[in-house]
Amino acid sequence: MKTMKKLATVLAVLPLFVGADVIRLYATSQTTLTIPGEAGATIVGKPAGADCKWAPVPFKATEKGLTMTLQPPADGKELLLLVNPEKDWNINDRTAPAIKSLLVNGKPMKVEKNIVSVPDDVVVDSIAWSAEDEGNPLDAKQTVFLLDDAPLKLAIDGKKAEGKVTMERKVMGGHTVKIRLVDSAPEANTTDVTLHFRYADKNTLLNPQNGLAKITVDSCYDGYNSLAPLNDGVLKLPGSSASGDVTWASAEIPTEHWVRMDFKKDVTVKEAYIFWPRLENSSKKVELQVLQGDKWVKVAGTPEAGQKDTLTTAFPLKTPAKGRSFRFWQPKGGGPGGRADIMWICEIILK
């Protein structure tokens, strides 16, 4: 393939679907282009992104290949050339795939602006969906089904797709399911649907109604002296404020920080969570420790290199930890990015 004008650039030749290639061409003047091919080829073109049909592109078959003279789009867009498209596929399809059903616990959910928000009082046990494209088969490589960015299995049969996930292990905090549907039309019509849900379990060891635990901290930021927000059952902020009535924060000083939980009797901890006020408030390094004799022993923690910004840090213990005193411990400088010397928490949970 080559161009005969210096002001023309072939940006890419990409495999589109079986038996077809798409050529993306940018030119500022009339351009002559020669590509490999035979006289019986089919070539159609259109400006990239334009809401119009593909039109036949005249060419001549020569010893060097297929030669055509092209006029650049008037609006300066790229010119797309489609070579040998499948005859039984709708290359003019501009309709994105559609979600036909989306069920949570077997009940249909309403999709508004490609977002589904499940009420906080709904305990999600299963999510199932089905989708279909009117014009072309779905692209199996680009169509995805994710739970918290981890891929889930889905089934694609031509123009139809479906997926289902059963929530066998419920991790407290916020979760996101993403469905991306991409068809195999030349310009890949795409639909993205995002579903948000949360788990909240008030039957925890730190529930103040149990009266089992006493909570203490190493220090308090001015105006954040109340420890009540740490176990008031509110896992997310009711508004944009992260003040001392809904969160606790340590003093912002370069030292270790901790939240200690002393129980009236030995308890067994299987899971632990910290809920942060906002993404940017999440500490990079935190450990869950249990007091054994006079030493604090790590039983779970964030990655050695530090965790990414998150609203919830889960500490799934490999083996349950038994003891009377536990603490969330943050090493010196292990706080949020930009404010490494503070520990700022919305809620803590032990189960």
Same domain, 276 and 319: yes
pLDDT of residue 20: 60
Same domain, 74 and 108: no
Q: How far is CA 21 from CA 49, 67, 209, 225, in A?
A: 17, 16, 66, 65
Same domain, 277 and 188: no
Please report, for the domain that includes residue 111, its CATH number.
Answer: 2.60.40
pTM of the model: 0.69
Same domain, 245 and 345: yes
Is the separation of the CB atoms in 345 and 198 below 8 Å?
A: no
Domain that holds residue 291: 213-350
pLDDT of residue 1: 34
pLDDT of residue 288: 98
Same domain, 304 and 223: yes
Same domain, 171 and 240: no
Nearest CA-CA partner of 82 in 49, 51, 55: 55
pLDDT of residue 171: 82
Please identify, among 21, 49, 83, the residue that sits at the C-terminal boundary of a domain. 83
pLDDT of residue 9: 56
Same domain, 56 and 143: no
Question: Is residue 11 helix, strand or coil?
Answer: strand
pLDDT of residue 75: 75
In a domain, 52, yes or no: yes
Q: pLDDT tens-digit profile of 188-233? A: 899 999 999 988 777 899 999 888 999 999 999 999 999 999 998 8
Domains held by the chain: number:
3
pLDDT of residue 15: 43
Q: pLDDT tens-digit profile of 154-169? A: 999 999 999 999 998 7
Same domain, 231 and 345: yes
In a domain, 135, yes or no: yes
In a domain, 208, yes or no: no
- CA dist 296 and 290 (Å) reads 6
Please report, for the domain that includes residue 332, its CATH number.
Answer: 2.60.120.260
In the predicted model, residues of the chain with pLDDT beneath 70 are 1-20
Give 261's strand partners.
Answer: 215, 326
Please identify, among 52, 83, 114, the residue that sits at the C-terminal boundary of a domain. 83
Mention every residue, 6+ apart, whose C-beta is less than 8 A from residue 212: 205, 206, 263, 264, 265, 267
Nearest CA-CA partner of 122 in 71, 167, 82: 167
pLDDT of residue 243: 92
In a domain, 148, yes or no: yes
pLDDT of residue 281: 95
